[in-house]
Amino acid sequence: MKVSEFYYELPKELIAQEPAAQRSMSRLMVLDKDTGKIEHRVFKDIIDYLYPGDCLVLNDTRVIPARLLGKREDTGGKIEFVLLNRRGDNVWEVILKPGKRAKPGTRFIFGDGILKAEILEVIEGGNRLVKFEYEGVFEQVLDKVGIIPLPPYITKKIKDYERYQTVYSRNKGSAAAPTAGLHFTNELLKAISEKGIELAYITLHIGLGTFRPVKVENIEEHKMHSEYFRIDETACNKINAAKKAGKRIIAVGTTSLRVLETVADESGFISPKEGYTDIFIYPGYRFKITDCLITNFHLPESTLIMLVCALAGKEKIMEAYKIAIEERYRFFSFGDAMFIKTEK
């Protein structure tokens, strides 16, 4: 299957540069994956499409100030780090700019020296393993010297960085937000819960690989980036109970879906697990547990548009995107939402 099959032309002005005025007032396209029928609503109406006993699976990761601007300890030359994955005690995989001269042993300082770093090794893809030195709690130091990294297509400065966090974010570790969850408010989640829908929280820490283009012509040859995830017993019990009762498992975002499909067995049940996943879902994939998906509109030729095509069918998704452009939906991280549903 060719990457070019997932291309579409997007007018630049449809790339959302800031969040909607109110989270749950984003637009919502509802796509029935069985019939191809499309409805146009606003996000707070999602509750009308959720039924008692359904289970919503949400990613509770929180974006950290993963972008660090500093200088070389010896020459004073400027450097930019972006933290990707925690690899051990104070050891992180990072992207560097400029990175060519950052050889093992090179040292850098950030925030007037309250955070220091030494390159340990260069790894596959040109990223570095770096050991940090600091006093106190790493997350608190990061809050002082780091910046929240926004996706490369957002060029406008945002006023409130909390709008790039979900209202239920609690486990720090992502370099990017699970953007499908940005549309939920606490009030909407409360109403959904009171209607009898189960809420199950999982964690997947999103790396910047989520924005990386697919560079091979045949998608089967693409190597997916690896991301840390955790799903506990409480979440598993809720999801398994819904599955056993014949109710729908609804992933909020592609990250939740990837965790579900990573941990599910062939019969569609799951067990608690922690680790790394590099699952790559594209058309032809047989879903083990996920029935429906709440998601945003994704970049052309990205692994994310391939995933939604796998769930709903390539023709239906590409047609839905064509309609979304005609109807002037807002695209990408701060954009509008899509609910891919089945009545089961």
Specify the pLDDT at position 99.
Answer: 81
Return the CA Rg of the chain: 20
Residue identified by tokens 């091979």 is 216
- Give the residue ranges of the chain where pLDDT is below 70: none
Which two structure tokens, joined as six digits, stand for 170?
Answer: 């609690």
**Residue 153 maps to a domain:** no
Q: Which structural domain range is residue 134 located in?
A: 67-147
Verify that 109 and 35 share a domain, yes or no.
Answer: no
User: Domain boundary at 147, 169, 190, which?
Assistant: 147
One domain, residues 214 and 336: yes
Residue 252: predicted pLDDT: 98
Q: From CA 318, how far away is CA 264, in angstroms rounded?
A: 28
pLDDT at residue number 42 = 98
Task: Check whether residue 296 and residue 328 sit in a common domain.
Answer: yes
Pair 287, 329 in one domain: yes
Nearest-5° Cα angle at 332, 146 to 15: 100
200 forms beta bridges with 57
Do 14 and 84 reside in the same domain of the chain?
A: no
Instruction: Please state the domain count of the chain.
Output: 2
Kindly state whether residues 112 and 87 are assigned to the same domain.
yes
Distance CA 236, CA 202 (A): 9
Q: Is residue 107 part of a domain?
A: yes
- Same domain for 214 and 320, yes or no, is yes
Amino acid 333: pLDDT: 97
214 and 299 housed in the same domain: yes
Domain assignment present for residue 227? The answer is yes
Residue 157 exposed, middle or buried by CB count within 10 Å (0-12, 13-18, 19+) = exposed
Instruction: Return the CATH number at 86.
Output: 2.40.10.240
49 with 64: CB under 8 angstroms? no
Indicate if 73 and 163 belong to the same structural domain: no
Residue 109 exposure: Cα atoms within 13 Å on the Cβ side: 8
In a domain, 305, yes or no: yes
Last residue of a domain, one of 147, 177, 197: 147
CA 66 to chain centre: 15
Is residue 203 in a domain?
A: yes
For residues 110 and 76, the answer to whether their CB atoms sit within 8 Å is: no
Q: What is the pLDDT of residue 86?
A: 87
Together in a domain, 241 and 316: yes
Residue 208 backbone zone (phi > 0: left; psi -120 to 50: alpha; other: beta): alpha
Hey, what are 227's tokens? 């991301």
Q: What is the pLDDT of residue 344?
A: 76
- According to DSSP, the β-strands at 337-341 and 27-32 are parallel
Domain membership flag for residue 154: no
Q: Which of 147, 171, 204 is the last residue of a domain?
A: 147
Structure tokens at 263: 């941990």
Is 17 domain-assigned? yes
Return the half-sphere exposure (C-beta side, CA atoms, 13 A cut-off) of residue 159.
4
Do 251 and 300 share a domain, yes or no?
Answer: yes
Could you tell me if residue 12 is inside a domain?
Answer: yes
* Burial of 112 (C-beta count, 10 Å sphere; 0-12/13-18/19+): exposed
The CATH number of the domain holding residue 195 is: 3.40.1780.10
Output the CA torsion sign for 96, 221, 284, 31.
positive
Q: Measured between alpha carbons, how far is residue 314 from residues 1, 62, 257 in Å?
A: 11, 31, 18
Contact 17, 326 (CB under 8 A): no
Identify whether residues 46 and 166 lie together within a single domain. yes
Let me know: does 19 contact 163? Beta carbons within 8 Å: yes
Omega before 98 cis (within 30°)?
yes
- What pLDDT does 92 receive? 94
pTM: 0.94
Could you tell me the CA-to-CA distances from 179 to 19, 81, 239, 303, 331 in Å, in that order?
A: 11, 23, 22, 15, 11
